[in-house]
Amino acid sequence: FPRRDQLFGYDLVILGDVPADYLGKQHQEWLRDFVKEGGGLVVIAGREHAPADYVDTPLAEVLPVEFVPTRFPAEGARTQPFLPVRTEEGKRGGLLTLAEGEEADAKAWAKVPGWYWNYPVTKLRPGAVSLLNHPRLMAGDKPMPVVASQAYGKGEVLFLASPETWRWRYNAGDRYFARFWGQVVYR
């Protein structure tokens, strides 16, 4: 992990399924402060640690979603795939644009492979927005967010409830995968 002064030299940190103990409380506080001062943070959920390990930690408050800590087997039973549904905010924000023009973008979204797993979210935090929802699962009386964002201080946090964007490379190479991640990094 970089020193605090080095961390603030970055624009974005992408955090995958990393145990909270690995970061420790001090580094989590640094990450929280990093976002508060204008940095970007992407948190990608995983089966073992994220976000389950982060309940009651300094990073929990920056996440745009609330959740119940849940552990999953490393390799679970294969379920039916689902194609996340873009919300109006997701369509407008540009982050989820996979092709130029509304019609081409809708066709691109119809082509991307679905996801098989997501971390269950109970609700959005106040001020957060869902960009992609699960097509069938609910979080209370609303569709369950699978990609959500929120401003925190001067920065922004993006939460992906699934690590499966890599599936978008199937039969498309990097066309959709690289465009999505390029837009995430740029934003």
Q: What are the residue ranges of helices labelled H in 37-92? A: 88-92
**Average pLDDT over every residue of 102-124:** 95
Q: How high is the pLDDT of residue 76?
A: 63
> What is the mean pLDDT of the segment spanning 88-117?
94
Q: What confidence score (pLDDT) does residue 73 get?
A: 74
User: What is the pLDDT at residue 88?
Assistant: 96
pLDDT surpassing 70 at residue 1: yes
Q: What is the pTM of this model?
A: 0.95
Which residue from 118, 17, 20, 122 is spatially nearest to 68, judged by alpha carbons? 122
User: pLDDT: is 70 or 130 the higher one?
Assistant: 130
Looking at 73-169, list the stretches that DSSP marks H as alpha helix, in order from N- to C-terminal side. Answer: 88-92, 102-111
Q: How confident is the model at residue 77 (pLDDT cuts 50, 70, 90)?
A: low
